[in-house]
A and B are shown apart, each in its own frame.
Chain A
Amino acid sequence: AQSVAQPEDQVNVAEGNPLTVKCTYSVSGNPYLFWYVQYPNRGLQFLLKYITGDNLVKGSYGFEAEFNKSQTSFHLKKPSALVSDSALYFCAVCSSGNTGKLIFGQGTTLQVKP
Chain B
Amino acid sequence: EPEVTQTPSHQVTQMGQEVILRCVPISNHLYFYWYRQILGQKVEFLVSFYNNEISEKSEIFDDQFSVERPDGSNFTLKIRSTKLEDSAMYFCASSDSWSNTGELFFGEGSRLTVL
Residues of A within 8 A of B (CB): 32, 34, 36, 41-46, 49, 51, 90, 94-96, 98-107
- In the complex, B99 has a CB within 8 A of chain A: yes
A99 & B43 in contact (Cβ 8 Å cutoff): no
Contacts A/B (CB < 8 Å), 26 sampled: A32-B100, A36-B106, A42-B108, A43-B91, A44-B91, A44-B104, A46-B104, A51-B100, A90-B43, A94-B100, A95-B100, A99-B48, A99-B98, A99-B99, A99-B100, A100-B55, A100-B93, A101-B56, A102-B104, A104-B42, A104-B43, A105-B42, A106-B41, A106-B42, A107-B42, A107-B43
Distance A95 CA – B100 CA, assembled complex (angstroms): 7
Please name all residues of chain A whose beta carbon is closer than 8 Å to the beta carbon of B109 when the two chains form the complex: 42-43
Give Cα distance in the complex from A95 to B58, angstroms: 15
Q: Is the CB of B45 within 8 A of A44?
A: no
